[in-house]
Amino acid sequence: MELGESAAGGFPRVREEPEGEASAMDESLSLGRIAGVRVGLHWSVLVIVALVAVLLARGRFPSAHPGYSPALYWVVALLTSVVFLASLLVHELAHAVVARRNGVQVDGITLWMLGGAARLRGEAPTPGAELRIAGVGPLTSALAGGVLVGLTWGLEVLHAPGLVVEAVAWLAAINLVLAVFNALPAAPLDGGRILRAFLWHRTGDRLRATRGASAAGRVLGWLMVLTGLAAVLFARDLSGLWGALIGWFLITTAGAEARHAELHSALDGVSVGRVMTPDPVTVPYATTIDAFLAEGPFGPYRHSAFPVLAPDGTVAGLITMDQVNRTSPKMRYRTTVGDEMRPLSDVVTAAPGDPVVDLVPRLHTSPVRTALVVEGDDVVGIVTLNDVNRALTWPTAARRKQPEPPS
């Protein structure tokens, strides 16, 4: 989640993005579900597959075991790249499974250029849960590396082809390297989350712990950027660019985590019902686009998205002005709102009593950046990131004050 600073008051601010703009790690290809967790690939994963394949097929394999055909080097290198991605997936699945066991919902896993990301909905409830969720990642990679070391030894004893042994040995080494690197005490690495769990346990302050882990992440990131660029400039080693890229990713992500923690602290205890726009304008399912446009503009209503009601009065979906504008003017007289709307299954929903801080990341990954607030079958409100920003401009005590129950 990307955050910025408001220009006026210095409050945390959630960045609004236009409909249809993809998140940096939105999946491009769905692989279905594994262990009940949705798994997808981002297009940038092709970069890491190509990079690993080139380094192995053109470098390590021919150097260590000359005499094979170029085609065989490429086949083994590509297979090794795929197994490497599978090991990254196992690492992220371990995070997801342990997170669910500790009461944290998991939206899915996306593999991309710099590894993988398990999208968790909400925060770990305790330092102990944070430690378990973070620690299982490096432990899984270390275990995988150990198993592959044993497999390498077994293949050598059985006198397997040298190229196969080399591929398994590389996979063993890279998993052990990943385990060590991920265990470094710097956010957003797993070791940074372990550090945050330790600081949280010691201080009792989640925000202070996150600031400490994020600061460590920025320091590590700058060290990697500087050493990577130095390797390129002084040693003519282009592989330093990869280290510099990872370092820059650590810097930006650690900063984003710190700002997210500030947002979490600012909105702690605030419910969706206090942020939403109540009683939004609704549109019947069978209304034509022409008839819908004839009713606008909608006066004091602040949104460009509208709940769509089924014939029985229950909420069926959401229509946005972007969807309306994409409808051909010649077809608007016979195209209904129901034809163009996003069905409810594709819309972010929340209950009035849900914590708004848990809704923000879901809003940020939604194509329309809008959530419907529902009670039973009825829509009672609508929320956008701008609504959250408006709430953040109010003093803390006012934000957290809950309405008195009726006497």
Name the average pLDDT for the chain. 84
User: Letter for the amino acid at 145?
Assistant: G
Q: Compute and round to an integer the Cα radius of gyration of the chain.
A: 25
∠ Cα 307 308 313 (to 5°): 110
Over residues 59-113, the pLDDT tens digits come to 899 999 998 899 999 999 999 999 999 999 999 999 999 999 998 888 888 887 7
Quick one: DSSP state of residue 288?
A: B
Q: How far is CA 189 from CA 113, 115, 217, 243, 275, in A?
A: 16, 11, 8, 15, 33
> By the 8 A CB rule, do 355 and 316 touch?
no
Outline which parts of the chain fall under CATH 3.10.580.10: 272-400
Burial class (CB in 10 A: 0-12, 13-18, 19+), 123: middle
Quick one: fold of 272-400? CBS-domain (3.10.580)
pLDDT at 42: 83
User: What's the confidence (pLDDT) of residue 7?
Assistant: 32
Tell me whether residue 92 is one of the annotated catalytic residues.
yes
Q: Is the dihedral of CA 215, 221, 227, 233 positive or negative?
A: negative
pLDDT grade for 6, boundaries at 50, 70 and 90: very low
- Identify the top-confidence range among 197-211, 231-245, 375-389: 197-211
256 pLDDT tier (thresholds 50, 70, 90): confident
Contact call for residues 133 and 102 (beta carbons, < 8 A): yes
Mean pLDDT of 304-309: 91
353-395 pLDDT, tens per residue? 998 888 887 888 788 889 999 998 889 999 988 888 887 776 5
The pTM (predicted TM-score) of the whole model is 0.73
Residue with the two structure tokens 């995070």 = 95
Q: Quote the pLDDT of residue 27.
A: 55
Share above pLDDT 70 across residues of the chain, in percent, rounded to a whole number: 88
Neighbour count for residue 41 (Cβ, 10 Å): 20
In this prediction, residue 228 carries a pLDDT of: 93
H or E segment and range at residue 92: helix 70-101
Q: Which ranges constitute the DSSP H helices of 158-239?
A: 162-182, 190-203, 206-235
Only one residue has tokens 């650690």, namely 254
Neighbouring residues of 244: CB distance < 8 A, sequence distance ≥ 6: 224, 225, 228, 229, 232
Q: Return d(Cα 166, Cα 148) in angstroms, integer.
A: 11
Choosing from 5, 16, 92, 340, the catalytic residue is 92
Determine which helix (DSSP H) or strand (DSSP E) holds 384, and give its type and residue range: strand 378-384
Q: What are 315's two structure tokens?
A: 């909420």
Instruction: Report how far residue 368's alpha carbon sits from residue 365's, in angstroms, rounded to the nearest whole number.
Output: 9
The number of CA neighbours under 13 Å toward the Cβ of 150 is 5
